[in-house]
Chain A
């Protein structure tokens, strides 16, 4: 853990502007030359409840939320001022302060809105402050904002106070407010920012800040981007111009971003009656010759298993994104988990085939969104982009050049009318859409409206012309060909460098992980090596087809492997063992399923306890250790 970092947590009730304020603050830090990473925690409700966002900023690269935090800005619960000042909502009246203290680091700073929160109501507050050497600044943010005519702008006052207390100049914040705010509210906000800044400077000795903002510099232009942003831009750059969906947290983010952008590109977005329809629309649009996507989260994706199978059987390319949240059923709508992995791998009846990719970072989300489309259209197979609420919602800085790539709107093996005319595919002159023997298993397709390309797409087993057929020879030929595509895709993926490795190559131990936990694990690996424990990690990105050889090589190269994932049942570990067919005695699991992602320290502690000390007791954290088989 580097001390030279700011992890700023803003907490309050939903509806307090936590998200927009933290986003602007993160961007201001990025513009000042720092690397940033945000972590969101919010309940499933419109207003009130306990919500916070962390913004981590450091001159060094940051790939995770970090451990705990060192600066708390506690606003009030939004219900405290509406409808009556003294009104409280349930038992949550002082949560913006009390709920957050457990993770505040020693020596950290607390700024709280004394107009709304009363620290004396928190048991042993003063003792805890003394014990942890916290620096407490009760400020009447509400009063200050009210004096300027707008109580709601107390979050701006809080940012002004933060800047004053951490030694951060106001200019980047002011620039951002000018960019983001409409004229009407800009002036009072700028005023409140300045007044809060000046007041704190005047009132407190802040020349030697308790927690200071580090300084850094970027050597190229940076963007603040979420996983959902990156997935959307990847889809757009790969030529996707059609999306259909139904709102469901957290998939809604991708759906919204696409819907806002597609019409500007001459594309089409459809919000439809349910998820079955949504995926079926994507299939229909793709059949008609457009690059199309749909998506959902666990429960909505369950409805898509029918159209998913239809796309597989009719070999209609389509991309579905699945944004995981804690399940089963509606589970915990706003909390991340990785437990839809098996659902996504195995849903739909029959020997059904699809591609499943699981990006680990915002950068990878862009690349693998593009890859999902490329594979879907080149191989005429559904691809699923599997990520979770954490990756979808977290913001981090990425160099703008990362996205500077050529568009790829190609439809894959799709015949022009000239090609259809030149190469009749059968002696009867009919177009054979589903030829038995083709390279890679991919039989070229035609698009409705093309001359000479008439065919039937059906979810029933079919002969080369597309007509329903149940003969044993045809069945075997068709299913073998469809299956063959997966092997071709595996070879294709082996040409790409999709996994992520960290730590020394000759390490003694290994950690395997997938998806959004990759950055956290990599940070933990760095710390373990700093502490003299030789360990490396492999963040696996391809779930299906699985990179069996690469994972085998990794497992064989170390003595023991810890599999880190956000599931209760070790689904990813099961997938690894299924594909490797052995090494059960080498793999242990570190699991977390309480609704929060791992922090690096939990991985460090869990690894030390489970692998190094071998007692599997990672006490003090809400993580679970499952030892290797046969232990």
Chain B
């Protein structure tokens, strides 16, 4: 259908296409890890073969939400914590779209935590990138759900008494079929993981460690990372839930002890995506619902002809 002809278009894509014409200057601070996410996405999308016009990027609120302004795709900059419900409905309405959601650690694991769990549980076919800098940045440096225990801030002056959230384990337990962690300081791995995540047919959760040079100078993201998929010290089968869970536990504990382990922690290629499941049980049309509104030949059924006899 020519209505959505940007979808599935096969051509060479220049990464500059993703750069807005009249460049809004990023408001991110110099040295911010968010630049790395932007760069990795601009590299990954052309390699996957997805054009800006078939891509819908849904973001939350905060520094990470600005990603929409600097990556020129179809975009929806939503509200705090709500990028996922907006994104997954768009995917159900038009499964041909490449849907990517992004947000920060406060946005995704705090205020949007409920949506995160349920989107992972349903295994929607989308990519979710969480900019994890262990701090609230745009509101000027408050403790976030991933800040380490004992972290001091204006809102936790005595040091946080809370254990940090374990996003990878949370995601795995909720049902995500692809779980990885990468870091801004490793652009090659970040790009590769994003390519895999976008291509993955299911909910791909990427915890993206991004340094905040302004509000979180102590964070561990500055230390060298170890890629668990490449190091001989970490033998595990990333398709095995139990081994993956064990590796995630190790990763999430060691992060706060100065050792940053990154890589692919869980990959399940077998589990069908939510949209596929819904189609299977007859709760979703085979053709994208959104296309129907543009099909002049489609016959819209009336309640009068379909349902009213049972009321007679």
Contact = CB atoms under 8 A, between A and B. Distances in A.
Interface of A: 221-225, 229, 232-233, 236-237, 239, 241-242, 244, 261, 263-270, 272-274, 276-278, 280-285, 287-292, 306-307, 309-310, 314, 400, 403-407, 409-411, 416-417, 428-430, 447-460, 466-468
A288 B97 contact: yes
A289 B77 contact: no
B85 A467 contact: no
B96 A404 contact: no
6 contacts: A236-B303, A239-B293, A270-B92, A273-B118, A405-B302, A429-B21
B238 interface: no
B232 interface: no
Interface stretch (B4-12, B37-45, B160-168, B220-228): B4-12
Nearest to A401: B304
Nearest to B59: A458
B76 interface: yes
Interface string B78-90: 1100100111111
B20 A285 contact: no
A103 to B, nearest CB: 29
Nearest to A262: B283
Contacts of A280: 78-79, 82, 85-86, 89
How many chain B residues sit at the interface, stated as a range, is 35 or more
A282 B94 contact: no
Closest 9 CB pairs of A and B: A284-B89, A449-B4, A284-B86, A458-B77, A280-B85, A233-B303, A289-B290, A281-B89, A448-B74
B58 interface: yes
B93 interface: yes
Contacts of A454: 52-53, 72-74
A284 B58 contact: yes
Nearest to B299: A407
Nearest to B89: A284
A309 B68 CA distance: 19
A224 to B, nearest CB: 5
Contacts of A457: 75-77
Contacts of A459: 61, 77-79
Contacts of A307: 79, 82
Given A449-B54, A453-B74, 13 more contacts: A224-B311, A242-B93, A268-B283, A269-B283, A280-B79, A283-B86, A288-B93, A290-B94, A407-B302, A448-B94, A449-B97, A456-B68, A458-B75
A239 B97 CA distance: 22
B284 interface: yes
A223 B308 contact: yes
Contacts of A306: 79, 82
Contacts of B303: 232-233, 236-237, 261, 403
A396 B231 CA distance: 72
A292 B290 CA distance: 11
A263 B283 contact: yes
Nearest to A267: B289
A429 B20 CA distance: 12
Contacts of A460: 77
Contacts of A468: 24, 66, 69, 77
B50 to A, nearest CB: 11
Given A430-B21, A448-B74, A268 B68 contact: no
Interface string B280-312: 001111000110111000001111101110011
A284 B85 contact: yes
Contact of B85 (A276, A407, A411, A453): A276
A450 B6 contact: yes
A428 B23 CA distance: 12
A290 B289 contact: yes
B312 A277 contact: no
A229 B114 contact: no
Given A407-B300, A459-B78, A451 B6 contact: yes
B53 A450 contact: yes
Contacts of A466: 75
A403 B305 CA distance: 10
B310 to A, nearest CB: 8
Given A264-B306, A266-B285, A284-B93, A447 B290 contact: yes
A458 B2 CA distance: 27
A26 to B, nearest CB: 11
Given A273-B114, A450-B4, A281 B21 contact: no
B180 interface: no
A417 B3 contact: yes
B301 A284 contact: no
B77 A290 contact: no
A284 B90 contact: yes
Nearest to B294: A416
Given A280-B86, A284-B90, A222 B22 contact: no
Given A407-B302, A448-B94, A281 B293 contact: no
Given A288-B290, A400-B312, A468-B69, A277 B302 contact: no
Nearest to B4: A449
Contacts of B89: 242, 244, 270, 280-285, 288, 292
A409 B293 contact: yes
Given A265-B306, A447-B290, A289 B114 contact: no
Contacts of B87: 284
Contacts of B149: none
Given A265-B301, A289-B93, A451-B53, A281 B68 contact: no
A295 B81 CA distance: 20
A456 B93 contact: no
A447 B86 contact: no
Nearest to B291: A289
B56 interface: yes
B308 A403 contact: yes
A468 B58 CA distance: 15
B278 interface: yes
Contacts of B69: 456, 467-468
B200 interface: no
A280 B115 CA distance: 11
B53 to A, nearest CB: 5
Nearest to A410: B293
Contacts of A291: 293
Contact of B68 (A224, A236, A458): A458
Interface in B228-286: 278, 282-285
A417 B77 contact: no
A456 B301 contact: no
Most buried by A among B2, B284, B304: B304
Contacts of A285: 89-90, 92-93
A19 to B, nearest CB: 15
Contacts of B91: 288
Most buried by A among B24, B79, B92, B292: B79
Contacts of B3: 416-417, 447, 449-450
Interface in B79-128: 79, 82, 85-94, 96-97, 114-115, 117-118
Contacts of B24: 467-468
A266 B90 contact: no
Most buried by A among B4, B52, B77, B282: B77
A281 B93 CA distance: 10
Contacts of B54: 448-449
Most buried by B among A281, A291, A409, A449: A449
Nearest to B311: A223
B95 to A, nearest CB: 10
A411 B283 contact: no
Most buried by B among A239, A267, A268: A268
B68 to A, nearest CB: 5
Contacts of A288: 56, 89-91, 93-94, 97, 290
B92 A241 contact: no
A150 B22 CA distance: 77
A222 B58 CA distance: 48
